[in-house]
Every structure is written in C-alpha cells, then in structure tokens.
A and B are shown apart, each in its own frame.
Chain A
Amino acid sequence: MNEELNKKNAKLVRNLLFVVIGMFGFGFALVPLYDVLCDITGLNGKVASAAAKEERYQVDQSREVTVEFLTSLNESIPMVFRAETNKIKIHPGEYVTVNFYAENKTDHIMVAQAIPSISPGLAAEYFKKTECFCFTQQTFQPREGKTMPVRFAINPELPEQYKTITLAYTFFDNTETSLKK
C-alpha cells in the first residue's frame, strides 16, 4: 500500500516537474514568438532593419502624406541629434532624402545605434527605407559631427486613413559593448 503510494507520488511529481520545466522554457519561447507575431501582424511599429530595394512606384499625385521626424537620446547620452527638417509633405510613391545631424560631445570615441520606430504602427510596413544610418552602428570620433541621410518612399498602397506618419529615432550608446568585442 505504501510502496504503491510512493510510486504514485513519484510519478506525479515527475510529471509536474516536466510541466515546470516546460513552462520555464515557454517563458523563453515567448521571445521569438513575440517577434514573429509582431512581424506577421505588423504591430508594434517595428521597422525593417535592412534596406528595402529601390522599387519604382506609380507616384500618387492625388494625395499628400505628412511625415514627421522625431529624435531623442536614450539616458541623455552626451550627443547632439536632430533632424534637419521637422516635417515634410510628400506624395505616396515619391522618393525623398532627409538629413539628420548627430554629434559626439565627448572627448572619446562613441559607438551608437539608432533605433527607429514608426507610428501609427500599422503604417510601418508601407514605409520603405532604401538608406538609413540606423541599419548599422555609427562610430563617432571625439567631437565629430555627421550629417546622415535617410532615403525613403511611402508605398502608394498605404490606406487612405493615414494622413500623418511619424518616424522617431532614438540613439543608444553602445560604446562599451561594441568596444569590448
């Protein structure tokens, strides 16, 4: 009777431990799942981190979309960072280049990564960047200032409801991690 109970307990505990380990794994599985879900649905304003092919679009002269540019610095890192134009009006399908300016205000080399975000999030997939300083890390010499272009177009298939799209960049200081490597 007790032998039997011990066996039953041991088996149950083993099965429950599998659940525990499985759920620990599930927590980590949520990381790729989250990315995949954001990719598929285009939620979250995640922007492609690689350049899009320069495709010829039929320019839609009938409407205009306002594109706004925002810049910010993570943890107030010692940089100057601004867009040379705050907003422009463009026709969907036409390619434009906008310059951003960033400057290292310190006396040492700085490696920084710009992370883009687009809102509204669901418009992100129509925003095609063929050139962007955010595709790679940027290295700044001490006190160096750089003018960096972003070239993009808006896919004319953009639904009518989007009249304004905001492109925001945040510069993160990656000096420590990238110099270690």
Chain B
Amino acid sequence: MSAVVAEHDDHHDDHDHGPQKGLLRWIITTNHKDIGTLYLLFALAMFFIGGIMALVIRAELFEPGLQFVEPQFFNSMTTMHALVMVFGAVMPAFVGLANWMIPMMIGAPDMALPRMNNMSFWLLVAGVLLLASTLFMEGGAPAAGWTLYPPLVLQTGKALPFAIFSVHLLGISSIMGAINIIATIFNMRAPGMTLMKMPLFVWTWLITAFLLIAVMPVFAGAVTMLLTDRFFETSFFDAAGGGDPVLYQHIFWFFGHPEVYIMILPTFGVASTIIPVFARKPLFGYSSMVYATASIAFLSFIVWAHHMFTVGMPIAGELYFMYATMLIAIPTGVKVFNWTATMWKGSMTFETPMLFAIAFVVLFTMGGFTGLMMSIAPSDFQYHDTYFIVAHFHYVLVPSSVFILMAAGYFWLPKWTGHMYNEKIGQLHFWMSVISVNILFFPQHFLGLAGMPRRIPDYAIQFADWNMVSSIGGFIFGVSQLLFLYIVIDTIRGGTGEKVSDEVWEDAHKHGLEWTLPSPAPYHTFTTPPDVIPTEHQ
C-alpha cells in the first residue's frame, strides 16, 4: 500500500499511515519491513525445527547400535533436516534480510513488487507445511537424502508426490522473491546510487537472485521427471526403459552447486557490511569484492560434477572438473584477504556482531580448505560420502551462513526495534556457539577420514569416541541457540532499555544509508529519495 509504489501520486498526502491493526496486518501486508520480519521469524522457527531433527540424528549417533529411532526414520531425519535448513531456514532468512535491508540501503521506499512479495512469503509457508506433512504419511517422509537420488527416492511411500510439489512451491516462492529483488535493485535505486556505489550486501543479493532464477527451474524440472518416472511411466532415470540414474545426478548438481552459493553469497555480503563498521575503516577492495562475487557465481555453473567424481567419469572429465573447482579458491581467497585487510590496523571493537563475523572469516576459510581437498579428484574417492563431506559442508553452512545470520541479527536488531540487545548475553551466546560448533563438527573430519559413511544410523565400534564428542558438541550448540531466541524476544520487548541512536554503531552512518534513518526504522522510509551519502569505499 505504500503510496510511492502505488499508481497515483495524489496519495502522497496520506502516506504516513502506520501498519494495519490486528493480526490481519501480517497476512495481507505488502510492506517490505513486515514481510522481512515474517521471513526472519519463520526462518528462526524453522532453524529450531531443523535443529531438533539434527539432535535426533546426533542422539542416535551418540553410541553405536540402534537406540532411539528406526533406520528408516533416521534417514528421513537426515533428509528432512537438510531440506528444512536449506529451504526453510537459511534461504528464507537471507530473503528476510534482503526485504528489510535492500530498500533501506539503496534509498527505495519499498520493494518493487510488494504484492508479489507477500505471495512469495505465503507460498514458502505452504511449501514448508506440505513438506512437513510428509512426516505423518504412510511410508514416512522422504529418506533418500536431500539430493533425492533415484532409484532410491522412487521407493518413497505416499510422501513422494507431496515432497515434489513442496519443492515446486518452494521453487516458485524463491523465484518470485528473486525477481522482486532484481526489479528493486535495477529500478528503485535512489538517484545517485550507482551500481558501483551499492553496499556489498545489495550486490551479493543481486547476483544470488540471478543464480536463483537460473537454477531453481532446473531443479523443478528434475523433480518433475522423478514424478513422471514414478507415476506416468516415463524412463528418464529408469535403466529398464533406457534411462540413466546418473543423468539425474548431473541435472541435480547443475542446480545443486549454484544452490550452495545461493546460501553463501549473501553471507559474504553481510560480512562485508559488518566488518568495516567495527574496524572503523572502509571495506578494503570494494570493486574486487564485486568481481570476485560475480566470478564465483559464474564458476558455480561449470563445476557441478565434482560432486560425482566416483560415478565413473572418464579421466578427462575428472581433470576438467577438478581444475575448474580449484579455480573457485582464487576469487574466494580474494574475499578472505579483503576482509582481513579491512581489519588490518583498524580501530577494532568486538561487539557480538563483529565476533560472529570474525568467527565466520576463520571458520569459513577452514571449510573452504576442506573443499579444496575434495576438489582433488583422486583424493575425493576417499572422502566421498563420508563424514568428511558432512564436516566440510557444515563448516561452510553453520559457522558461516548461520553465524553471519546471527551477526546480522545482532547488527540490525537495534535498527529494527529501536532497542539495544543485551551485550553480555550476546557475548555468552557467541562463545558458547563458537566453541560448541567446533566440538560438534571438527571430530567429524576424523570420522570421515577414518571411513565412517554419512547417512547411517549405526556404525562400527572404532568410530564411537569421536561420535560421542560430536554429539555432546551438538547438544551444547543446540541449547546455546535458546540464548539467541531469548535475546531476540527480549530485544523486541525493550532490551536493555538503553536509547539507541540513529546510527546505532559508532560512525555507522558512513557505511550505509540505513543508519541515517531513525531507530526504530519508521514503517515507511525513503518515500522521498535521500540525497545520496556515498558509502565509504574506494
């Protein structure tokens, strides 16, 4: 309903109205801040649901033998944990941040397509509910892993079509979100906000949005083929009818590899926003950051088969995918060095968002290095489908994407709510998280190198010790996140009671337009475009 986006200029006089009263506000809202809040709260809820599934897995793996759950249910848990975390928590959380922050960062009054914005949120909810409903179906939820490889996934019970349609809904939802973000960034920037002046968070999201519209339809196509193979007697992946299950792996990973970058590129953007503020320096190498992000996005399309080195590729294929994958380390290295250089000789302070951001730089680099190990095709035969892989991708998701989401929460909560969070509890949350996440995932490297396969409910006795350590870390990590939940609720309800200034963090107004707005940010912002204050970067 924001007047500037709506059709008529003559609404200008009454554009100061606040949100609608009552619960209906949240259902019919087209305000980017409301929708951002909805996305973020939904993602937080899913983070806990997916986390409970992870704890079921870790509880079962605490000791060898079968303790708590049936193997079939265990496999459902690994599958559902991944799907919920990827499509229900991490992706929506970044869309929520995009909704809240992109208009405020580029001086726009709202997203370009507010009604579609509302629809993409509610489609997400529908998709996730549909996915969750499969848990209660005959034959159980999908249990073939998040990659949904045939022929195994075709043996799913009644849940298969529901899981596939939920993927369709989630896909449509994120494609709509992506189109909205692209339209906003292309058409809604304030005068003077040129592309190369945009904050890096906006840049990374622009590139991510293009990845989304390029690969989500491919995934939708792949699961549609699964659907017709199962119900309409096609043989895309059925060898008996002349198909090939390996084809599915190619199509899936053509989607899957860009998909993992969809979860990490906005992470880079937030890190590049937070680190300069607390280092009190402009971001080092702004334009190289932009080009590095674009190169990573491009490379993500041509490396997919490194997920399938053991599938029986000819040597030429292995070599190509190995070298192409190694190339990604270069733009990624540029980023890591830029963040480090930004901190170099800065007047750093270590508030909670900065702590999470620094932990991200360190732990993401570790996760990146194990990725480099796996890109070496001959060694990958040892790592393939072991806990080493599990450790790798959790390092680049949990202490990277999730940590940065936490950092973003601490960083912008004062702007969103007008209240300061409790710094002591925030720091406690950080230290609990960063220690326990390493207890949780680091031993999984050892387990994988020693040969423990992933996606198994029981294991050989020699893996017992490190699994126990890992599970203990998992439970500490899980419980620590309740602190975050407490802080979010507490901050919304008033926090420390301290009055926060408009710029919240010292000199933050030099780093982004959002810090020139009042705290809390009013319901409508930038209904008239700002005089651009150039963000402080070279």
Q: Which of A9-17, A50-58, A125-133 contacts B (4 or more CB under 8 A)?
A: A9-17
Contacting residues, chain B, for A12 (C-beta < 8 A): 182-183, 186-187
B242 touching A44, Cβ below 8 Å? no
A27 touching B251, Cβ below 8 Å? yes
How distant is the Cα of A2 from the Cα of B247 in the complex, in angstroms?
Answer: 47
Question: Are A43 and B313 CB-contacts (below 8 A) given A9-B112, A23-B213, A23-B215?
Answer: yes
Of residues 18 to 71 in A, which have CB atoms within 8 Å of B's CB atoms? 19-21, 23-28, 30-31, 34, 41, 43-46, 49
Contacting residues, chain B, for A21 (C-beta < 8 A): 217
B218 touching A8, Cβ below 8 Å? no
Question: Are A13 and B179 CB-contacts (below 8 A) given A6-B7, A43-B313?
Answer: yes
For residue A113, CB closer than 8 A to chain B, the reply is yes
Question: Are A9 and B8 CB-contacts (below 8 A) given A20-B217, A43-B314?
Answer: no
Contacting residues, chain B, for A49 (C-beta < 8 A): 242
Question: Are A30 and B9 CB-contacts (below 8 A) given A13-B179, A172-B240?
Answer: no
Question: Are A27 and B214 CB-contacts (below 8 A) given A13-B183, A44-B244, A172-B240?
Answer: no
For residue B22, CB closer than 8 A to chain A, the reply is no
For residue B4, CB closer than 8 A to chain A, the reply is yes
How distant is the Cα of A1 from the Cα of B8 in the complex, in angstroms?
Answer: 10
Question: Are A16 and B213 CB-contacts (below 8 A) given A9-B113, A122-B314?
Answer: yes
A30 touching B254, Cβ below 8 Å? yes
Q: Of all chain A residues, which has the CB nearest B4?
A: A2
For residue B246, CB closer than 8 A to chain A, the reply is yes
Of residues 92 to 124 in B, which have CB atoms within 8 Å of A's CB atoms? 112-113
* Contact with A19, one of B4, B214, B239, B244 (Cβ below 8 angstroms): B214
For residue A115, CB closer than 8 A to chain B, the reply is yes
Of residues 83 to 117 in A, which have CB atoms within 8 Å of B's CB atoms? 113, 115
Q: Of all chain B residues, which has the CB nearest A74?
A: B240
Contacting residues, chain B, for A8 (C-beta < 8 A): 186-187
Contacting residues, chain B, for A2 (C-beta < 8 A): 4-9
Contacting residues, chain B, for A41 (C-beta < 8 A): 314
B182 touching A27, Cβ below 8 Å? no
B312 touching A44, Cβ below 8 Å? yes
For residue B19, CB closer than 8 A to chain A, the reply is no
B250 touching A34, Cβ below 8 Å? yes
Please, what's the 1-or-0 string for B1-15, where 1 marks a CB less than 8 Å from any CB in chain A? 000111111000000
For residue A156, CB closer than 8 A to chain B, the reply is no
B179 touching A16, Cβ below 8 Å? yes
Of residues 233 to 283 in B, which have CB atoms within 8 Å of A's CB atoms? 233, 236, 238-242, 244, 246-247, 250-251, 254
Contacting residues, chain B, for A20 (C-beta < 8 A): 175, 179, 213, 216-217
How distant is the Cα of A21 from the Cα of B503 in the complex, in angstroms?
Answer: 43
Question: Are A44 and B246 CB-contacts (below 8 A) given A23-B218, A30-B251?
Answer: yes
Question: Are A9 and B187 CB-contacts (below 8 A) given A2-B8, A23-B213?
Answer: yes
For residue A174, CB closer than 8 A to chain B, the reply is yes
How distant is the Cα of A6 from the Cα of B241 in the complex, in angstroms?
Answer: 50
Of residues 172 to 188 in B, which have CB atoms within 8 Å of A's CB atoms? 175, 179, 182-183, 186-188
For residue B65, CB closer than 8 A to chain A, the reply is no
Q: How many residue pairs at the A-B interface have CB separations less than 8 Å? A: 103
> How large, as a class, is the contact surface on chain A?
35 or more
Contacting residues, chain A, for B333 (C-beta < 8 A): none
For residue A121, CB closer than 8 A to chain B, the reply is yes
How distant is the Cα of A174 from the Cα of B247 in the complex, in angstroms?
Answer: 21
For residue A179, CB closer than 8 A to chain B, the reply is no
A31 touching B236, Cβ below 8 Å? yes
Of A1, A21, A23, chain B has the most CB atoms within 10 Å of the CB of A23
Q: Quote the shortest CB–CB distance from B216 to chain A (angstroms).
A: 8
B214 touching A23, Cβ below 8 Å? yes
Q: Of all chain B residues, which has the CB nearest A112?
A: B240
Please, what's the 1-or-0 string for B304-326, where 1 marks a CB less than 8 Å from any CB in chain A? 00000000111001000000000
For residue B405, CB closer than 8 A to chain A, the reply is no
Q: Quote the shortest CB–CB distance from A177 to chain B (angstroms).
A: 6
Of B7, B9, B214, B221, chain A has the most CB atoms within 10 Å of the CB of B221
* Contact with A24, one of B9, B112, B218 (Cβ below 8 angstroms): B218
For residue A170, CB closer than 8 A to chain B, the reply is yes
Q: Quote the shortest CB–CB distance from A99 to chain B (angstroms).
A: 23
Q: Of all chain A residues, which has the CB nearest B212?
A: A20
Contacting residues, chain A, for B221 (C-beta < 8 A): 24-28
Q: Quote the shortest CB–CB distance from A35 to chain B (angstroms).
A: 8
Contacting residues, chain B, for A177 (C-beta < 8 A): 233, 241
How distant is the Cα of A64 from the Cα of B118 in the complex, in angstroms?
Answer: 70
For residue B222, CB closer than 8 A to chain A, the reply is yes
B186 touching A34, Cβ below 8 Å? no
How distant is the Cα of A24 from the Cα of B215 in the complex, in angstroms?
Answer: 8
Q: Of all chain B residues, which has the CB nearest A181?
A: B233
Contacting residues, chain A, for B289 (C-beta < 8 A): none
Q: Quote the shortest CB–CB distance from A126 to chain B (angstroms).
A: 15
* Contact with B217, one of A27, A46, A170, A174 (Cβ below 8 angstroms): A27
Contacting residues, chain A, for B5 (C-beta < 8 A): 2, 5
Q: Of all chain B residues, which has the CB nearest A119?
A: B312
Q: With contacts A27-B219, A43-B313 known, what are 16 further pairs, Cβ within 8 A?
A: A1-B9, A3-B7, A5-B112, A5-B187, A8-B186, A9-B183, A9-B187, A12-B186, A20-B175, A27-B217, A27-B221, A30-B251, A43-B314, A115-B240, A121-B312, A172-B239
The 10 lowest CB-CB distance pairs between A and B, nearest first, are: A27-B221, A172-B240, A24-B217, A23-B217, A27-B218, A115-B239, A16-B179, A8-B187, A113-B240, A34-B247
Residues of A within 8 A of B (CB): 1-3, 5-6, 8-9, 12-13, 16-17, 19-21, 23-28, 30-31, 34, 41, 43-46, 49, 74, 113, 115, 119, 121-122, 170, 172-174, 177
Residues of B within 8 A of A (CB): 4-9, 112-113, 175, 179, 182-183, 186-188, 213-222, 225, 233, 236, 238-242, 244, 246-247, 250-251, 254, 312-314, 317
29 A-B pairs in the complex with CB atoms less than 8 angstroms apart? A2-B5, A2-B8, A3-B7, A5-B5, A5-B112, A5-B188, A6-B7, A9-B183, A9-B187, A16-B182, A19-B214, A20-B213, A20-B217, A26-B217, A26-B221, A28-B225, A30-B247, A30-B251, A34-B244, A34-B250, A43-B317, A44-B244, A44-B312, A46-B244, A74-B239, A172-B240, A174-B240, A174-B241, A177-B233
